[in-house]
Amino acid sequence: MQTLLLVDDDPDTRLLLKLKLRDRFEILEACDGHKALELVRTHGVDLVLSDVHMPRMWGTVLRDALHRQGFPRDRIFLMTGCASDGLGVDFRKGANLNELAQAFLKKVDQRFVS
């Protein structure tokens, strides 16, 4: 089973996404980019799904830091609840996290299974 790292400062978002994705992935959680970097260094992480707007470290900074450390950029997915601001966001967090989870699974399947 692949390991997915969920990175979001909102614990409710992490919990709901974890409940939707746990049948498909082993889930690790981080509340910010610093903790995410630590978990990637100490655990075998296959995919990262991160919020963009977080205190201490934005998801875009996390993405770039992971890429500099050799983590494949195509295995890092960004989500935001804000309007698209040209930051390369993969998913929008709306009121329905079920839809976000389904869109994430579809994109993972398209990118890595086909």
How many degrees, rounded to 5, is the angle at CA 57 between CA 19 and CA 103? 35
Q: What is the pLDDT along the chain (114 residues), one digit of tens a residue?
A: 999 999 999 999 999 999 999 999 999 999 999 999 999 999 989 999 999 888 889 999 999 999 999 999 999 998 886 666 666 666 667 667 788 788 888 888 888 765
- The strand pairing partners of 79, in sequence order, are 51, 91
Domains and CATH numbers, the chain: 2-112 (3.40.50.2300)
pLDDT of residue 21: 94
Query: What is the dihedral sign for C-alpha 81, 86, 87, 91?
Result: positive
